């Protein structure tokens, strides 16, 4: 299986995180995640690493209205360790007619205080999206049937209006947009957290089926998206499906949710499948709450393999670096 990588992601390694109160919390999204995955996959000759290519900026910019803001804010910083956070998030009734191109206006584009911009954030986030685009190109040209894009930063919380949740550009959505001229696309998110950005990108697009299996958002991030009654809107009603599951979900419950989604994908009959694959569903993940074991990901991968559709896997979450690499490896082996 082709594994697409590109970048020195240590260029984006935030130290601060502001969440659930005034204290700072340890950032879990570190470059060690990528090293854990590489170590596990490079130990197996069935995985063939390939460096991602560079794509024109327009492939990313046309989907993300905050593209220039992220780039320009990074350029305005003076050293590689500096982190910029918005300090005001305008709500309903705010006067946005005076908007100027300034980092101070970042609350328009960012949803939270856990997704800072650093001097090299744009460079790393663009490379992450290009990793997904390279994988999509291999599928579109018929060179591969299954490709794994080792993306970091993740992308599934970045949407068509705002970014957040450690995510800057939506890698899976960028790849789906690239593949759409060749046929319909299904995007399935298996991260512990709902893929709200991906859902919002395609909420009105009937040629893309989106689905997400995640912890019930009534008590887990992102809180305001991911409920079972969100089905898509307008001409796309019925092309979005959510499987919110309770904390302590086991493999049996999880696999049943996968089967329900697979049934809907078969009915949709897409030309391509994109899996936004997070492994914070593991029992030992520091920010998760499910009970999946390392070996469980083999059978989950096998469930998706049964679709026999050209498949791109984009890396999302997963924060226990001691087992993340083996979780990814097992899932990919199941797909193979």
Residue 131 and residue 244: Cα distance in Å, rounded?
29
Residues 280 and 287 sit within 8 Å (Cβ to Cβ): yes
Strand partners, 243: 213
Q: And the tokens for 153? A: 């930063």
User: What whole-number distance in Å separates Cα of residue 137 and Cα of residue 140?
Assistant: 5
**Contact between 161 and 320 (Cβ < 8 Å):** no
Phi, psi of 188 (to 5 degrees): -115, 125
Rounded Cα distance, 143 and 276, in Å: 21
Measured CA to CA in angstroms, residue 6 lies from 40, 143, 178 at distances of 17, 19, 19
* Residue 211 DSSP symbol: E
Catalytic pick among 12, 67, 157, 241 = 157
Cβ atoms of 130 and 6 closer than 8 Å: yes
Task: Name the β-bridge partners of 214.
Answer: 244
CB 120 within 8 A of CB 293: no
| 157 is annotated as an active-site residue | yes
Active-site residue set: 157
């Amino acid at each position: 299986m082709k594994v697409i990588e590109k970048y020195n992601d240590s260029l984006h390694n935030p130290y601060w995180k502001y969440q659930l109160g005034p204290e700072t919390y340890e950032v879990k999204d570190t470059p060690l995640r990528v090293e854990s995955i590489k170590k596990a996959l490079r130990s197996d000759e069935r995985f063939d690493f390939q460096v991602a290519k560079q794509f024109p900026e327009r492939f990313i910019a046309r989907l993300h209205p905050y593209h220039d803001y992220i780039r320009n804010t990074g350029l305005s910083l003076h050293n590689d360790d500096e982190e910029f956070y918005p300090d005001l998030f305008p709500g309903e009734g705010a006067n946005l007619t005076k908007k100027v191109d300034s980092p101070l206006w970042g609350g328009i584009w960012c949803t939270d205080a856990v997704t800072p911009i650093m001097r090299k954030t744009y460079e790393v986030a663009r490379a992450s999206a290009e990793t997904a685009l390279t994988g999509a190109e291999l599928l579109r040209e018929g060179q591969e049937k299954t490709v794994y894009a080792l993306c970091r930063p993740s992308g599934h919380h970045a949407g068509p209006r705002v970014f957040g949740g450690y995510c800057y550009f939506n890698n899976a959505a960028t790849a789906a947009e690239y593949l759409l001229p060749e046929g319909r696309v299904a995007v399935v998110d298996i991260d512990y957290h709902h893929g709200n950005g991906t859902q919002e990108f395609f909420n009105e697009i009937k040629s893309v089926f989106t689905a997400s299996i995640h912890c019930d958002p009534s008590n887990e991030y992102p809180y305001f998206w991911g409920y079972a009654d969100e089905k898509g809107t307008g001409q796309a009603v019925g092309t979005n499906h959510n499987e919110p599951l309770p904390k302590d979900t086991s493999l049996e419950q999880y696999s049943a949710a996968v089967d329900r989604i697979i049934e809907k994908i078969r009915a949709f009959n897409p030309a391509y499948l994109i899996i936004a694959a997070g492994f914070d569903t593991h029992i030992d993940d520091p920010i998760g709450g499910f009970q999946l074991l390392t070996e469980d990901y083999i059978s989950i991968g096998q469930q998706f393999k049964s679709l026999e559709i050209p498949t791109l896997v984009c890396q999302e979450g997963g924060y226990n670096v001691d087992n993340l690499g083996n979780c990814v490896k097992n899932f990919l082996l199941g797909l193979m």
